[in-house]
Amino acid sequence: MISETSRKYGILAVSTFAFTICFMIWMMFAVLGIPIKQMLHLNGAQFGLLASMPVLSGSLARLPLGMLTDRFGGRPVFFVLMLICIPAVFMLRYAHTYSQFLQLGFITGLLGGSFSVGIAYVSHWFDRSQQGFAMGIFGAGNSGAALTKLIAPILILTWGWQSVPVIYALILSVTAAIFGLIAQAEPRHVKQNLSGSTLTLRLILSPRVLRYCQYYSIVFGGYVALALWLTEYYIAQYGFSIQGAALLAACFSLPGGILRAVGGWISDRCGAHSVTWWVMWVSWLCLFVLSYPPTDLVIHGTTGVLALHIELHVVLFTVLMLMVGVAFAFGKASVFKYIADDYPEDMGIVSGIVGLAGGLGGFALPILFGWLQDLTRIRSSCFMLLFAIVSVSLIALYFSEIRHTPLLGQMGVHPYPTQPVPTTEE
C-alpha cells in the first residue's frame, strides 16, 4: 500500500517532469528559430514574432485550461493537452514557409498552457503551509528552457534542424504515456460552473489580481522573452557559435527554473510580498547595468585627448544575467504564493488569469525587442525596456503593499488576510 506522502510526492514528480518537457518544447524556437531565421532571411521583428508565436497561444490557453482543470481535474486535462500537440510538433519538420512556421508554432504553443493545469493540480495535493514549496518544485519545470538549449544545438549540428521536431514529438509521446500511467485524480478539485462569467470577471478586475498580473508579466514574461532572445543576442553581440551561445544562454534559463523551488520555500517562510520586493530591486539594479550599450567616450583633458571604451565583458554580462535569472525564479514562486494565500478555492482560474498575463508578456516582449533593435540599432535596448517595466512594478508594489506593511520587522506577515476572496475588494 502506497502511503499518502509517497503518493503526493510521486504526483509532484511526474507532473514536474511532464511540465519540464512541455516547457522544453514550448521554448524550442529559442534555438530552432536561428537556422530558420537564416533560411528565411528574417529581420529582428520577424524573428521576434516567430520565437514568440508559441508563447501567444500558450498564454491565451492558460485561462480556459485553468477553468477546465477546476471543472474536470488536472490529470485528464494535462494528458489530453499533450496528445493534441504531438502531431503539430512533428509537422514542423515539413514546414518551409514563414506562415507555416507561425501556424504550427501557434498550435505547438498550447503546451505552454500546461502550467495553469499543473499548478492547480499539484496544489490540491498539499496543505497550505507546503503549497509554496510544492508549486515552486513544479515551476522548476521552467528549466526546460535550458534543456532545449542543451539538446537542440546538438541535434541541429548532427542531423539538421528538421530532426528537432521529430525527436521532440517522440519525447512528448513518451512523456504523455508516463504521465497517463502514473498520475492520479486529485483528492479534491473545485467544480466551477463554466458559465460563471461573473466570478471570472470579478477576479479579472480585482485590484489584487491585476497587481499579480503586473508582477508576473515581468518575472515570467521577462524570463520567457530573454530565454527566447539570449541565444541570438550572444551570437550577434559577442560572436559566439550557436552551441556556445546556447550554452551561455542556459546559464540564465537553468537557475531561472530550478531555483523557483527555493523561492517557493522562502515565500512560505518570509511572505510573498517581502520576496517580491527584493526580487524587483535586484532585477532593477542588474537591468540598469545591462541597459548601457557599448560606448566610446572622447574626453578633452588638460594634457590632451583621453579615449575611453565602455562595454560589458561577456563574463560580467553572463553573471548579471545569472542574477536576473535567480531573481525572476524567486519572483515567479512568490507571485503564486500570493495566489495560494488569497484564492485557495479558485487556483485554476486565478492562476490562469495571472499566467495569461505573464505569457502575453513573454509573447509581446520579443517582438518589442526586435522592433526596438531595428528602430534604435542598439542591442541593449531590450534591457532598457525591461528596466522600465520593473520600475513600474516597483512603484506599484510600494504604494499597494510595502508602504503599509513593516517589511523587515514582521517577515512572513502577509499584508492581506489569507482567506478566500471577499465579496468586495480593498
Q: What does the pLDDT look like over 307-325, one tens digit per residue? A: 888 888 999 999 999 999 9
Phi, psi for residue 221 in degrees, rounded to 5? -60, -40
Q: Is residue 413 part of a domain?
A: no
Q: Which amino acid is at 345?
A: E
What is the phi/psi pair of residue 189, to 5°? -150, 150
CATH number at residue 22: 1.20.1250.20
> What is the pTM assigned to this prediction?
0.74
Cell digits of residue 317: 554580462
Count how many domains the chain has.
1
Is residue 285, in this structure, part of any structural domain at all? Answer: yes
Residue 416: inside a domain: no
Angle at 203 between CA 199 and CA 205, to 5 degrees: 120
| Maximum Cα–Cα distance across the chain | 85
| 422 domain-assigned | no
Q: What count of residues does the chain have? A: 426
Separation CA 353–CA 351 (nearest Å): 5
| 47-98: pLDDT as tens digits | 888 988 998 898 888 878 877 887 888 889 999 999 999 999 999 999 999 9
What is the b/e burial string over 92-101, where b = at least 16 CB atoms within 10 angstroms of the residue's CB? bbebeebeeb
pLDDT one-digit tens code per residue, 223-254? 888 988 898 899 989 988 888 888 888 888 87
| Domain of 92, in residue numbers | 4-189+199-404
In a domain, 243, yes or no: yes
The C-alpha atoms of residue 377 and residue 382 are separated, in whole angstroms, by: 11
In a domain, 421, yes or no: no
Residues paired with residue 305 on neighbouring β-strands, in sequence order: 300
In a domain, 414, yes or no: no
Is 417 within a domain? Answer: no
